[in-house]
């Protein structure tokens, strides 16, 4: 193997860091308009970020840019970690004066579109900080789609090679025409965000609130401009808009691009999309009936509340319209398991993701058949195509590492004296990039600021692992990766 080409990695990283710096202009301008002193923090953070970004880019500029498999692994992890460090600067330099631990946690939670927050009193916060949080999630969301569509199938992370082989239009060609794809993706992403913002505005949000929330809805991030999250807004139009667009953020964005390009029925014909929608319908109908008839809530209200909160947790957004933790132990159990589900591959959502459940379910079924009829040839098929053994193995390994990470992180939280519900749900939500956990401390009505610093670092690492689908990060700690 050749030595890792650090030059191209640093060059691309430098360019991306400069882009991040440019985005800091937005909150700075808002704070200047509002006459709030925080603009200075953003300008200083921007200058520092731009300086480092430009220096790295200029020092490593060479053509052509060659990014192999190992460089792609390294770049992805470096971008998510270092972006969080630089994005944390405004939180430390603003009137919030967060500690580095809290600022990094908030930034990592933003970039990974998790949505766990250490901030409280959002309603009274300057608009600069609020839009910065929204921008972090919005950037993290589109960044994840690019990685999931262009890089992960080639890197064969967690069975994502499935999307490399199944359709040439989604895989190698897309990777080869990454610029073309990126332009289409930006158009779709911005378009959906704009439609969502208009609907939020019609539902009674101010233009600022509508834009900030539409960014964190499409990116399935969940940062809000109010402590009451979406529950702060009482108009059902807002709740249903949120429900629809959180789901939109959890669907494969490649399919939107194909739909725009003429394949109108690409979305409903996709087996992952169908499975996610059917799953959501079953859970929503079941819980609505239970709330309506078991707890006496009016049916329309129960449907609205359940649909919003179930879609929010399943798509790993993390908004809340009410504290569903108070609906009783049965609801808590369901919401705990929903933390693991996630959206579709190639979306902004986290979690285990629907296609992995489909593959594992089919593989388990085939295995069962093989036990009954040992000599029969059993194939696992997905979307009408046979699934290679290495995909099944990769998916099973992914599921194992996912659960293993949740267990390890829970143990860390237990060791820090946190209770059972907080530890387990905190670990699961971090790895699945959801946002709120369960319980009084980190539930929908809680906050992560109470947690000790060690727990915050552990959770931030869990978010990174889950967002980059574990192996992108874990491969860096193997000695073979670095060996020439």
Q: Which residue of 332, 362, 396, 475 would you call a contact of other proteins, by CB under 8 A?
A: 332
> CB of 452: closest distance to other proteins in angstroms?
4
Q: Which residue of 107, 210, 438, 463 would you call a contact of other proteins, by CB under 8 A?
A: 438
Q: Round to whole Å and give the CA distance between 75 and 95.
A: 33
Q: Round to whole Å and give the CA distance between 361 and 381.
A: 11
Site for other proteins contains 449 (CB under 8 A): yes
Q: Round to whole Å and give the CA distance between 218 and 57.
A: 30
Nearest to 102 by CA among 475, 458, 473, 457: 457
Q: Which residue of 64, 262, 296, 329 would you call a contact of other proteins, by CB under 8 A?
A: 329
Nearest to 221 by CA among 145, 138, 280, 149: 138
Query: Taking each helix axis from N to C terminus, what angle separates 389-415 and 354-372, rounded to the nearest 10 degrees?
Result: 120
What are the residues facing 386 on neighbouring strands?
381
Cα–Cα distances in angstroms (integers) from residue 300 to residues 6, 291, 304, 311, 375, in the given order:
57, 11, 6, 16, 53
> CB of 479: closest distance to other proteins in angstroms?
36
Q: For the chain, first and last CA: distance in Å?
A: 5
> CB of 454: closest distance to other proteins in angstroms?
9
Nearest to 15 by CA among 55, 43, 42: 55
Site for other proteins contains 397 (CB under 8 A): no
* Listed ranges 145-153, 229-237, 246-254, 344-352: which one lies at the site for other proteins (CB under 8 A): 229-237
Q: What part of residues 453-482 is at the interface with other proteins (CB under 8 A)? A: 453
- Per the CB < 8 A criterion, the answer to whether 249 and 141 are in contact is yes
Q: Round to whole Å and give the CA distance between 289 and 411.
A: 36
Site for other proteins contains 94 (CB under 8 A): yes
Q: x/- string (CB under 8 A) for other proteins, residues 117-136?
A: ---xx--x------------
Nearest to 146 by CA among 76, 85, 61: 76
Site for other proteins contains 262 (CB under 8 A): no
What are the residues facing 381 on neighbouring strands?
386
Q: Which is nearer to other proteins, 175 or 414 (CB)?
A: 414
Q: How many whole angstroms from its chain centre is CA 338?
A: 15
Q: x/- string (CB under 8 A) for other proteins, residues 295-314?
A: ----------x---------
* Listed ranges 67-75, 92-100, 280-288, 371-379: which one lies at the site for other proteins (CB under 8 A): 92-100
Dihedral sign, Cα of residue 398, residue 411, residue 86, residue 342: positive
Site for other proteins contains 7 (CB under 8 A): no
Site for other proteins contains 232 (CB under 8 A): yes
Look at the chain and count its residues: 484
> CB of 444: closest distance to other proteins in angstroms?
6
* Listed ranges 45-53, 55-63, 176-184, 413-421: which one lies at the site for other proteins (CB under 8 A): 413-421
> CB of 37: closest distance to other proteins in angstroms?
4
95-102 long-range CB contacts below 8 Å, 24 or more apart? 95/37, 95/38, 95/126, 96/125, 96/129, 99/453, 101/453, 101/456, 101/457, 102/449, 102/456
Q: Which residue of 434, 441, 460, 464 would you call a contact of other proteins, by CB under 8 A?
A: 441
Q: Which residue of 93, 144, 196, 468 would you call a contact of other proteins, by CB under 8 A?
A: 93
Q: What part of residues 25-44 is at the interface with other proteins (CB under 8 A)? A: 37, 40-41
* Listed ranges 145-153, 194-202, 225-233, 264-272: which one lies at the site for other proteins (CB under 8 A): 225-233
Nearest to 220 by CA among 429, 8, 483: 429
Site for other proteins contains 292 (CB under 8 A): no
Site for other proteins contains 228 (CB under 8 A): yes
> CB of 235: closest distance to other proteins in angstroms?
15
> CB of 39: closest distance to other proteins in angstroms?
9
Site for other proteins contains 366 (CB under 8 A): no
Is residue 113 helix, strand or coil? coil
Is residue 51 helix, strand or coil? helix
Q: Which residue of 29, 81, 450, 475 would you call a contact of other proteins, by CB under 8 A?
A: 450
Task: Point out which residues bind other proteins (CB under 8 A).
Answer: 37, 40-41, 93-95, 97, 99, 120-121, 124, 226-229, 231-232, 305, 320-323, 325-326, 329, 332, 416-419, 421, 438-441, 444-447, 449-453
């Amino acid at each position: 193997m050749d030595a890792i080409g650090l030059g191209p990695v640093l060059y691309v990283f430098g360019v991306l860091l400069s882009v991040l710096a440019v985005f800091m202009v937005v909150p700075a301008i808002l704070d200047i308009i509002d006459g709030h002193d925080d603009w200075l923090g953003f300008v200083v953070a921007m200058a520092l970020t731009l300086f480092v970004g430009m220096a790295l880019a200029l020092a490593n500029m060479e053509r052509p840019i060659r990014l192999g498999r190992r460089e792609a692994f390294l770049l992805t992890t470096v971008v998510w970690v270092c972006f969080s460090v630089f994005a944390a600067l405004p939180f430390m330099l603003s009137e919030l004066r967060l500690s580095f631990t809290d600022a990094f946690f908030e930034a990592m939670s933003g970039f990974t579109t998790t949505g766990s927050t250490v901030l409280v009193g959002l309603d009274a916060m300057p608009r600069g900080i609020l839009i910065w949080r929204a921008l972090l999630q919005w950037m993290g969301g589109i960044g994840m789609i690019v990685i999931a569509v262009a890089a992960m199938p080639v890197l064969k992370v967690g069975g994502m090679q499935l999307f490399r082989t199944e359709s040439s239009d989604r895989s190698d060609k897309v990777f080869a025409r990454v610029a073309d794809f990126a332009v289409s993706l930006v158009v779709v992403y911005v378009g959906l965000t704009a439609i969502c913002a208009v609907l939020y505005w019609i539902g009674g949000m101010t233009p600022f609130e509508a834009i900030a929330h539409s960014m964190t809805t499409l990116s399935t991030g969940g940062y809000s401009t109010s402590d009451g999250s979406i529950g702060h807004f009482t108009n059902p139009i807002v709740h249903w808009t949120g429900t629809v667009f959180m789901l939109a953020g959890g669907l494969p964005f490649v399919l939107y691009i194909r739909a725009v390009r003429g394949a109108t029925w690409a979305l409903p014909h996709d087996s992952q999309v169908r499975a996610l929608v059917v799953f959501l319908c079953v859970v929503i109908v079941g819980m609505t009936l239970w709330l309506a008839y078991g707890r006496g809530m009016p049916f329309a209200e129960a449907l609205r509340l359940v649909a919003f909160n179930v879609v929010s947790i399943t798509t790993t957004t993390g908004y809340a319209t009410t504290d569903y933790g108070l609906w009783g132990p049965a609801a808590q159990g369901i919401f705990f398991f929903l933390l693991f589900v996630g959206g579709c591959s190639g979306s902004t959502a986290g979690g285990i993701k629907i296609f992995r459940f489909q593959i594992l379910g089919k593989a388990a079924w085939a295995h069962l058949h093989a036990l009954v009829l040992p000599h029969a040839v059993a194939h696992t098929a997905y979307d009408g195509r046979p699934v290679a053994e290495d995909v099944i193995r990769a998916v099973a390994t992914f599921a194992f590492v996912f659960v293993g990470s949740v267990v390890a992180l829970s143990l860390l939280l237990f060791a820090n004296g946190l209770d059972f519900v907080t530890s387990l749900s905190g670990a699961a939500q971090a790895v699945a990039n959801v946002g709120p956990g369960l319980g009084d401390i980190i539930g929908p009505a809680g906050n992560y600021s109470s947690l000790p610093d060690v727990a915050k670092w552990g959770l931030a690492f869990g978010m990174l692992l889950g967002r980059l689908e574990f192996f992108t990060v874990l491969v860096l700690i193997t000695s073979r990766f670095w060996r020439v």
